[in-house]
Amino acid sequence: MVRGLRPWATLAGLVLLVACGGPRYAPGPTQPTRPTPPTSPTGQGTGLINQRVDDRTIDRITVAAGDYQQCYGELAAARVEFSPMPDRDDGTGCAYVDAGMVTVDWGTVARLSPERPLLSCPAALAMSVWRRQVVEPAARDIFGSDVVQIDLMGAYSCRNVNGAATGRRSAHARANALDFGGVRLRNGRRITVLDGWSAGGDEARFLRRVRDESCRIYGTVLSPEYNAAHRDHLHLEIREATWTMCR
């Protein structure tokens, strides 16, 4: 059922979600145009999204993600537009809290495709750090070109792990995970996990650097080296427990 709207979500109308068993990528439905979210409701934020990744980044994200006002404040301070959605629980294990659609990041030229992924605020915060501090610097260092598009293969989706008919729910069903398929560069080059992971050379180096540095942001990172189900994407899941996995 749909929980009561929170104060910060009064502008978001009730929406219909993609039912279980739908396509792997399930973006949020179209919403009416709304004004840009205000500057941080708790001040200026800590600048987390603009800090270079180090061994404490995942801990800083976890702390900021533990409070919605702080999480939203980090996004707003970094000029990441996040459109809150009503909390949702359909009673089957597909549910999200403090989630919204990431619309525009004014601090980067890289757009998301598909646009407007539906993510929990912690997942949106992690993605914002990841795209600015991992994906874009790696492309500039290795290819000498800016990323103009980040190709996504999944965000919120009511499904089980690996899309299986039975079993436990995926972190995608809680809007806590993102699947990364590749990038498009300003010079026209496209790099995909499917074609580049085993290609050798700069493409493989870029994708492995993204995988390795993602492990300093996310609690679970799965690549083609994990299993065949991930041959065409990196699964990036925020830390929800004390253990981590980087494969």
pLDDT tens sequence across 31-59: 333 334 444 444 458 899 999 999 999 99
**Residue whose C-alpha is closest to residue 70's, from 45, 48, 100, 38:** 45
Give pLDDT, residue 162: 77
| β-strand partners of 58 | none
pLDDT tens sequence across 206-242: 999 999 999 999 999 999 999 999 999 999 999 987 7
Question: Quick check: 167 pLDDT over 90?
Answer: no
Give the whole-number percent of the chain exceeding pLDDT 90.
Answer: 74
45: left (phi over 0), alpha (psi -120 to 50) or beta: left
